[in-house]
Amino acid sequence: MPALTSTAPLAPFPGAVGVSHLRVYDSEAPDGLRGGTPHVHSVCSEAYIVLSGRGTVQTLGPEGFSETHLQSGSFVWFTPGTVHRLINSDGALEILVIMQNAGLPEAGDMVITFPPQLLDDSEAYARAHALPPDEQTTRGSGDAARQRRDLGVDGFSQLCAELDHEGRPALERFYARVGRLLAPRADGWQSIFRAGPRAAVERTAQQLDALGRGDASHLLEATLQRLPPPPEERRLGCCGTLGVYAAAGDAR
What are 171-208's pLDDT values in tens digits?
999 999 999 999 999 999 999 999 889 999 999 999 99
- Report if residue 227 sits inside a domain: yes
**CA 173 to CA 160: how far, in whole Å?**
13
**CA 198 to CA 102: how far, in whole Å?**
12
- Report if residue 10 sits inside a domain: no
Indicate if the pLDDT at residue 98 is higher than 50: yes
- Model pTM? 0.90
- Report if residue 6 sits inside a domain: no
- Report if residue 2 sits inside a domain: no
Of 101, 91, 98, nearest to 43 by C-alpha is 101
pLDDT tens digits, one per residue of 135-165: 999 999 999 999 999 999 999 999 999 999 9
List, in sequence order, every residue forming a beta bridge with 40; answer none if it has no partner. Answer: 111
Q: What is the CATH number of the domain that holds 119?
A: 2.60.120.10
170: confidence class by pLDDT, cuts 50, 70, 90: very high
- Report if residue 251 sits inside a domain: no
Helix or strand or coil: residue 26?
coil
42: confidence class by pLDDT, cuts 50, 70, 90: very high
Indicate if the pLDDT at residue 166 is higher than 80: yes
- Report if residue 28 sits inside a domain: yes
- Report if residue 4 sits inside a domain: no
Of 105, 65, 73, nearest to 239 by C-alpha is 105
233: confidence class by pLDDT, cuts 50, 70, 90: very high
Contact partners, residue 219, CB within 8 Å, separation at least 6: none
Question: What is the span of the domain harbouring residue 72?
Answer: 15-246
- Report if residue 233 sits inside a domain: yes
29, exposed or middle or buried, with CB in 10 Å at 0-12, 13-18, 19+? buried
**CA 61 to CA 23: how far, in whole Å?**
25
CA 190 → CA 18, 83, 110, distances in Å?
A: 17, 23, 16
Number of domains making up the chain = 1
**CA 241 to CA 76: how far, in whole Å?**
20
CA 154 → CA 30, 45, 148, 165, distances in Å?
A: 7, 24, 10, 17
- pLDDT score, position 121: 97
Q: Name which residue leads in pLDDT, 18 or 152.
A: 152
**CA 157 to CA 170: how far, in whole Å?**
12
pLDDT mean across residues, the chain: 91
